[in-house]
Structure 1
């Protein structure tokens, strides 16, 4: 995931002097410098996927160098053509306390502003990562929403017996009718992927994407739910429900469980139902033992003035 960690730790002057700090995009040949950073992170996934981050055009990774030593790393990933999500930020412990994370991301945002078609920049950090939130605030990225990443580990503890299955929305044109009002409301935060929510816009709902989503509507036809396959470390039936009455809707949990089992039949791996819960939804979870929860992720971001 692409979280923001910030600069915390010992306050030490740069061994090479402040004047030697310089910024540039990382290349494949920088792997050894990345491996030599002392970040305190065991089995750093950025090291493991470094080649992919460098070679895939939607990712960019940058570094601040103190002389020849890589002192701080961070970058961005482009989603749906117009959203730039900051992340993969880490600073060598020998250079912490000097605000390098902020300096680095200020330069990264300047690079993002040069990109054609990219209209939004943001970052995601966990609620108790105070240093990461401080960095995002310094960058002028306001807080938008807190979401609890919640995984169902025991389906049997969910009440899936009440109410009828919701009716599936299969036709692309009908999906678009439901989603078009949503796509025009940037105040709605839409969980586009696990760990990557964004303010809604039409680019999140392209035909070639939504045709593969499972969508269902309730009997009153005033609510819908999306269930789609997603994979981060594990494979998920990512569930998107945008109203607060998640636990009150008859047949909704039954429908989600049904959709998850359909996805599981197509997969050779274990698959888990995953929600991004608001604070209210999290507070009203009917059975805590059915879930595992993460510290809430806090989304920060803004639209560019173009």
Structure 2
């Protein structure tokens, strides 16, 4: 039996397609080539020329590496091959110049994956629910929308106060939160994102575009009173309507909610709630 681990290219799709992962539909099939180029890498563990485990990483904001895309052929499960490949990919990511943090994000009820990440010394952070909705008018209060923040300095004041100083988890993309640092917030990124604050300047919200199969208005709001702030959802709906008009395709609002947020939602809330995901990670020194 010949075992081998190697970096994959777009030409290796046939090996992935031949795996029996038990998944009827896998988004990797449609973007396999993209996951082998740019800031993305895929690795395969092969037995006698057959790929039986897949795993990779993606780089965000130049300094964050996120492990993921772990897939195993069910015919070869239970032999430690997935652990072997993830360990290998982690070591490869650690070799990269400039990487300051490495992590992974997995569903809370995926106990085997969480045990594996623990063995790799990737510590857990707080669980987050990805909440999506198309119509959030039930959350509106009839108040006017918040004022846009156009000054870069003011955007940085909010980011510094709520995230940099506290080291809080920041939802950088849908499914990809990271512990906050200056690395996440370049001037270009902050200028791309829309910031708004309420009249008394005690609250702010960020809206930004993302796409994970569908067009998404990704909302970042770092307080528990997500359903009770006058004007918040009027502000969000305004940008959501603009996104739908621009794309003319299916689009959703996405907001990352903590368990505390979930407990404050009214019974008639409009969200579809995913199972909670737990971010794991460690700094690279």
TM over 0.5: yes
TM-score between the two structures when normalised by the length of structure 2? 0.94
> Are 1:72 and 2:88 an aligned pair?
no
Matched with 1:206 is: 186
Matched with 1:47 is: 29
Any residues of structure 2 matched to 1:179-194 within 5 Å, and which? 179-182=159-162, 184-185=164-165, 187-194=167-174
Matched with 1:120 is: 101
Any residues of structure 2 matched to 1:8-19 within 5 Å, and which? 16=1
In structure 1, distance between residues paired with 2:53 and 2:47: 9
CA shift for structure 1 position 132: 1.6
Distance 1:287-1:273 versus aligned 2 partners, 3 A rule: farther
Matched with 1:220 is: 200
Any residues of structure 2 matched to 1:138-149 within 5 Å, and which? 138-149=119-130
CA shift for structure 1 position 248: 2.3
Contact 1:83 1:119 in 2 (8 A): yes
Root-mean-square deviation (CA), in Å?
1.7
Contact 1:22 1:64 in 2 (8 A): yes
Any residues of structure 2 matched to 1:29-48 within 5 Å, and which? 29-48=11-30
CA shift for structure 1 position 186: 6.0
> Are 1:60 and 2:54 an aligned pair?
no
Any residues of structure 2 matched to 1:245-284 within 5 Å, and which? 245-284=225-264
Contact 1:189 1:199 in 2 (8 A): yes
In structure 1, distance between residues paired with 2:166 and 2:17: 40
Contact 1:160 1:257 in 2 (8 A): no
In structure 1, distance between residues paired with 2:248 and 2:225: 33
> Are 1:171 and 2:162 an aligned pair?
no
In structure 1, distance between residues paired with 2:142 and 2:171: 26
In structure 1, distance between residues paired with 2:136 and 2:190: 26
Pairs aligned (count): 285
Contact 2:163 2:169 in 1 (8 A): no
Query: Deviations along 1:200-252, whole A, 9 cap, x unmatched?
Result: 01121111111121111122212110011111111111110011221222221
CA shift for structure 1 position 95: 1.2
Query: Deviations along 1:138-194, whole A, 9 cap, x unmatched?
Result: 2111111101110113323x2313433221102223222322334533630000001
Question: Which consecutive unaligned segments of at least 5 residues does structure 1 have?
Answer: 1-15
Contact 1:151 1:292 in 2 (8 A): yes
Among 23, 47, 57, the residue aligned to 2:5:
23
Among 127, 151, 157, the residue aligned to 2:132:
151
In structure 2, distance between residues paired with 1:159 and 1:95: 49
* SS of aligned partner of 2:130: strand
Contact 1:143 1:298 in 2 (8 A): yes
Contact 1:101 1:135 in 2 (8 A): no
Would you identify which runs of 4 or more consecutive aligned residues in structure 1 move more than 6 Å? none
